[in-house]
């Protein structure tokens, strides 16, 4: 598929992924059926099953695209920063920006994992994503010269996940981002930096 589409319209695959991203993320993987995806994408059901072989593979592709999106967003946020400490804060600032998005609805991987079968593609995509973000924190912790980089990374990950969860489930409370930032400060200071 060398993308020879000269048409103005996006490819069926891209339109399906966009529809999946909107609907799956907003309402959940289980509750959104195939019919609603193809209706929003403007694509025939046969085409969906031709491109992706099953709903599960569409879900996996949706999660991989979110993984990719988060990776590029965080890279962009850290791009012009040298200090690893400031890079870490940039990650949480970027997260705080997400919270203000009216379409924000928590972590897509957490939601998708809630009712996914063990050993399936969703679990696999989630494991990869979480390993990647933990590794991102671990490298920054190492650059920082933390006493125990992997422990600090795990702690930053705890705050990162907890903040995502709270921002989604405790909508009334707008101070989540600030509390998370102050928690990060405390953790960085405590890790003998």
Partner DNA sequence: GCTAATCTAGACAGATCTGTCTGAAGGGTG
Partner DNA sequence: CACCCTTCAGACAGATCTGTCTAGATTAGC
- How many Cβ atoms are within 10 Å of 102's Cβ, its own excluded? 5
Site string for its own copies, 13-52 (x = CB under 8 A): --------------xxxxx---------------------
Out of 10, 26, 27, 34, the only residue in the binding site for DNA (CB under 7 A) is: 34
First vs last Cα of the chain: how many Å apart?
Answer: 50
Nearer residue to its own copies within complex by CB, 81 or 190: 190
Residues of this chain, 87-126, that bind its own copies according to CB under 8 A:
106, 109-115, 117, 126
The DSSP element (H or E) to which 74 belongs, if any, is helix 55-78
Q: 41, 19 in Cβ contact below 8 A? A: yes
Contacted entry of its own copies, DNA, none for residue 46, CB cut-off 5 to 8 Å set by kind? DNA
Q: 57, 78 in Cβ contact below 8 A? A: no
**C-alpha to C-alpha distance for 139 and 84, rounded to whole angstroms:** 9
Out of 27, 45, 145, 182, the only residue in the binding site for DNA (CB under 7 A) is: 45
Structure-block tokens of residue 193: 């930096």
Residues making contact with DNA (CB under 7 A): 4, 6-7, 11-12, 33-36, 38, 42-47, 49-50, 53-56
């Amino acid at each position: 598929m060398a993308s020879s589409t000269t048409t103005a319209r996006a490819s069926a695959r891209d339109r399906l992924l966009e529809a999946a991203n909107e609907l799956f993320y907003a309402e959940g993987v289980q509750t959104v059926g195939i019919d609603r995806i193809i209706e929003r994408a403007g694509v025939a059901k046969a085409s969906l099953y031709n491109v992706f072989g099953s709903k599960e593979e569409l879900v996996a592709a949706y999660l991989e695209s979110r993984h990719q999106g988060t990776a590029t967003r965080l890279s962009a946020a850290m791009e012009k920063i040298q200090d690893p400490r400031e890079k870490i804060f940039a990650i949480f600032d970027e997260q705080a920006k997400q919270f203000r998005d009216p379409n924000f609805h928590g972590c897509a991987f957490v939601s998708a994992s809630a009712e996914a079968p063990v050993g399936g593609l969703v679990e696999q995509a989630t494991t990869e994503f979480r390993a990647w973000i933990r590794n991102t924190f671990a490298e920054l912790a190492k650059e920082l010269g933390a006493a125990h980089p992997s422990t600090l990374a795990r702690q930053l990950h705890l705050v990162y996940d907890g903040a995502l969860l709270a921002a989604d489930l405790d909508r009334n409370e707008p101070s989540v981002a600030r509390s998370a930032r102050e928690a990060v400060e405390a953790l960085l200071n405590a890790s003998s930096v």
